[in-house]
Amino acid sequence: MKQLYFLITILLFTACGQKEKLTVISADDFVYNHNNKDIRLYTLENENGLICQLTNFGARVVSIYTPDKNGEFGDIVVGYGTGKEFVEKKENFFGTTIGRYGNRIGNAVFSIDSVEYQLEKNDGENHLHGGGNGFHRQVWEVENVDNSSIVFSYVSPDMEGGYPGTVSVKVKYQLTESNELKIEYFASSDKNTILNLTNHTYFNLKDAGSSEINNHLLYINADLYTPVDAGLIPTGELATVKGTPFDFREETAIGERVSASNEQLELGKGYDHNWVLNTGNDVAIVAAKVIEPESGRVMEVYTKEPGLQFYGGNFLDGTDIGKNNISYGHRSAFCLETQHFPDSPNKADFPSVVLNSGEEYYSICIYKFKTVND
């Protein structure tokens, strides 16, 4: 029997002042038991009618409903509609909190305090996104939830995934009255370890994955990026974006240069690289901006992190069927992941990802939603 996802109806006011019915995922239909814990769905809403739905499975974003330039609300997030699908279907990273280490670690090995740690090789010879049983596969606790915010928590035991230290993590999502989804990460460890947390939401500002994202206009606030080798591990070089397809310092269609003759694009099968953000002080800067011309939806990304991974959905191939029975085809979604650089534990010149015992980890990412009319 075909799963019925959309059973809750919410009344919204459009820009013209008329009521509009918006159907969102049912919390009752979403529930699924995994490892003797219930996977549940939580809904946040602000006074402007924006809605964000999240689950404790992976502390992840499931849906975000925002208005287009005509005031009509629609989902802009690619993913599944039930807890069961998130557990069982192929794509593990839709919307999730990534840990302990967002992105790749070369040869799945690193050293800290002169001790070498071997991690799972789950991406060829390399380690990706905390391994096959990383934070994205855990059922997190819910500490606090109200109409506009929720806090997920998880305790990662010593040597889980090969990482030293018992690490206590909290992720707070807040849907603000400024139409921001504010994500804050807090953590501490009882041993020196490494940590690099990020969010892996797949966006399509036009139609939540029914079409390609090549016409989305992208701006990235970065003069440099980190070139990669054949395993998508940074070479250690900080290369200029000037004169390359990686220059998004002016708003440019994602698909305009994605098929250009360029070794880095060939290695990544498109964009799957880390940009070195033009930071310089301890305030959240505009790291990126995306405009979808047809809908008029705009998303800005703010962070204090030194890096931003832009992934253009190169490995989506139409075999994943998600919400509304949408088949997620090639480049039907993009990710903008605020982070420290890939393979930083093995690159002495990259910003450090060491979390010492007794220190407090903090990171922030803000996705702000607007339209071209704002």
Catalytic (active-site) positions: 200, 337
Of 108, 163, 165, give the one whose Cα is nearest residue 134: 163
* Helix, strand, or coil (residue 81): coil
CB-count burial class (<10 Å; 0-12, 13-18, 19+) for 28: exposed
Tokens 């501490």: give the residue: 188
Question: Taking CA 236 as the corner, what is the angle to CA 256 and CA 129, rounded to the nearest 5 degrees?
Answer: 75
Determine the Cα–Cα distance for residues 56 and 170; give it in Å rounded to an integer.
12
- Both structure tokens of 372: 């071209």
Q: Cα(233)–Cα(282) distance, rounded to whole angstroms? A: 27
Which of 270, 226, 221, 271 lies closest to 249, judged by CA?
Answer: 221
Q: What are the Cα distances from residue 306, in Å, to 152, 286, 309, 344?
A: 24, 12, 10, 12
Whether 187 and 166 have beta carbons less than 8 Å apart is answered as no
- CA 336-340-345 angle, to 5 degrees, is 140
Q: What is the spatial distance between Cα 270 and Cα 245, in angstroms, rounded to a whole number?
A: 10
Alpha-carbon distance values, 259 to 162, 214, 243 (Å): 38, 11, 15
- Backbone φ and ψ for 144, nearest 5 degrees, come out as -145, 140
Closest CA to 278 of 239, 222, 227, 352: 222
54, two tokens: 């999240």
* Contact residues for 250 (Cβ-Cβ < 8 A; gap 6+): 219
- CA gap 112, 106 in Å, rounded: 15
